[in-house]
């Protein structure tokens, strides 16, 4: 019967694609100790998983491979090498190696990589620095770097990122910024940002979002707004919002009742946009135009 080769050992290749064997390997003595194993843990094999396994079993050899020509070997060696040897890798040509260095160097040394040309490295740097050291990265050209900064910087400093051009960065800001600044994000152009704002504002601060154009925002408002302002959503154009208001109707002071023009007018000085119909949406019938008042001095 012809052999299928299923039980035959696969040819082993190094990272150049050149076949090799264990003969002549400088670590052959470790094979008997189970510290290297063809097909499972080998520093010469082209498979990154085997290289990683080799250094996991032989961390004491890491310093010897920091200048290896293959970046995968240098990355794995950098994760376990003596920390005093790592500054030499700050200028390594491969960004993966430099990223590995950011995870182990002291913060004072990590600062040297804050202006690295690769955003992955700068993300690694941002993940290690704190507060004042992060400020130069607040305006980093890469949004992923800025998002990392927004997650780590002191909330009191997030005011610097209130108007970040990327909505995902502003979402991080909305989730972490202090309560004093959060209301300033009510009018953010991104509905996802406003949704995060609605989830955090005090119930008494939610009235300006009761007429938000996004139904998800209005539904969150209906869930959380204080009972005194719940009637602002009683005639919402979407069923899901009205159903939430109806479910909370027992909380409304004096019982559920339509929103009157007088009630709306009383809100006007604080929330004038509540009386302004949203473009493309008909004016709710619950907000009738007040009749012309009689003259003060009838003839």
DSSP-based three-state secondary structure for 180: coil
- 221: domain range? 202-268
Instruction: Round to whole Å and give the CA distance between 165 and 168.
Output: 9
Structural tokens at position 148: 């990392």
Q: How confident is the model at residue 11 (pLDDT cuts 50, 70, 90)?
A: low
Asked whether residue 212 is domain-assigned, the answer is yes
Question: How many CA within 13 A on the CB side of residue 8?
Answer: 6
DSSP-based three-state secondary structure for 188: coil
pLDDT-above-70 percentage for the chain: 78
The pLDDT value given to residue 188: 98
Q: pLDDT at residue 299 above 50?
A: no
Asked whether residue 17 is domain-assigned, the answer is yes
Q: pLDDT at residue 215 above 90?
A: yes
Q: In this predicted structure, which of 13-17, 46-50, 97-101, 225-229 has the lowest mean pLDDT?
A: 13-17
State the distance between the two ends of the chain, measured CA to CA, in whole angstroms. 120
Structural tokens at position 41: 């843990």
The pLDDT value given to residue 38: 74
Counting every residue written for the chain, the total comes to 299
The pLDDT value given to residue 197: 99
Residue finishing a domain among 65, 81, 97: 81
DSSP-based three-state secondary structure for 206: coil
List all residues 6 or more positions away from 287 whose beta carbon is below 8 Å from its beta carbon: 235, 259, 261, 264, 275
Q: In this predicted structure, which of 89-98, 126-135, 288-297 has the lowest mean pLDDT?
A: 288-297
Neighbours of 83 (CB within 10 A): 12
* Region label for 277, one of left (φ > 0), alpha (ψ between -120 and 50) or beta (otherwise): beta
Asked whether residue 122 is domain-assigned, the answer is no
Residue finishing a domain among 81, 109, 137: 81
Instruction: Round to whole Å and give the CA distance between 98 and 90.
Output: 6
Q: In this predicted structure, which of 2-6, 194-198, 228-232 has the lowest mean pLDDT?
A: 2-6
The pLDDT value given to residue 27: 73
Asked whether residue 58 is domain-assigned, the answer is yes
Q: How confident is the model at residue 35 (pLDDT cuts 50, 70, 90)?
A: confident
Asked whether residue 55 is domain-assigned, the answer is yes
Q: In this predicted structure, which of 42-46, 99-103, 130-134, 268-272 has the lowest mean pLDDT?
A: 268-272
Asked whether residue 227 is domain-assigned, the answer is yes
pLDDT per position as a tens digit, 252-292: 876 554 444 334 433 443 444 434 444 444 444 443 443 44
Residue finishing a domain among 45, 61, 81: 81
Q: Count the domains in the chain.
A: 2
Asked whether residue 195 is domain-assigned, the answer is no
pLDDT per position as a tens digit, 145-169: 999 999 999 999 999 999 999 999 9
Query: How large is the greatest C-alpha to C-alpha distance in the chain, in angstroms?
Result: 120
pLDDT per position as a tens digit, 50-103: 889 889 999 999 999 999 999 999 999 999 999 999 999 999 999 999 999 999
Q: pLDDT at residue 129 above 90?
A: yes
Residue predicted with more confidence, 284 or 239? 239
Asked whether residue 30 is domain-assigned, the answer is yes
């Amino acid at each position: 019967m012809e052999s299928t080769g299923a039980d035959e050992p696969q040819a082993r290749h190094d990272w150049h694609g050149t076949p090799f064997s264990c003969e002549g390997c400088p670590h052959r003595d470790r094979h008997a100790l189970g510290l290297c194993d063809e097909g499972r843990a080998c520093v010469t094999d082209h498979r990154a998983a085997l290289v990683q396994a080799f250094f996991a079993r032989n961390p004491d050899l890491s310093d010897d491979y920091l200048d290896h020509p293959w970046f995968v070997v240098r990355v794995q060696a950098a994760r376990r090498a003596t920390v005093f040897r790592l500054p030499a890798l700050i200028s390594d040509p491969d960004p993966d190696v430099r990223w590995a260095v950011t995870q182990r160097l002291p913060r004072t040394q990590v600062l040297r990589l804050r202006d690295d040309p690769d955003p992955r490295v700068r993300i690694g740097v941002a993940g290690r620095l704190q507060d004042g050291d992060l400020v130069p990265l607040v305006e980093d050209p890469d949004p992923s770097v800025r998002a990392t900064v927004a997650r780590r910087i002191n909330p009191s400093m997030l005011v610097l990122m209130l108007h970040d051009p990327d909505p995902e960065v502003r979402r991080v800001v909305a989730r972490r910024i202090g309560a004093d600044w959060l209301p300033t994000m009510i009018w953010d152009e991104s509905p996802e940002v406003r949704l995060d704002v609605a989830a955090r504002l005090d119930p008494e601060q939610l009235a300006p979002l009761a007429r938000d154009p996004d139904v998800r925002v209005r539904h969150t408002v209906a869930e959380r707004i204080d009972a005194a302002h719940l009637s602002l959503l009683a005639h919402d154009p979407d069923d899901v919002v009205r159903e939430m208001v109806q479910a909370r109707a027992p909380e409304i002071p004096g019982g559920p009742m339509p929103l009157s023009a007088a009630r709306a007018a009383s809100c006007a000085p604080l929330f004038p946009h509540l009386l302004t119909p949203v473009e493309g949406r008909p004016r709710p019938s619950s907000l009738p135009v007040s009749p012309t008042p009689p003259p003060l001095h009838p003839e």
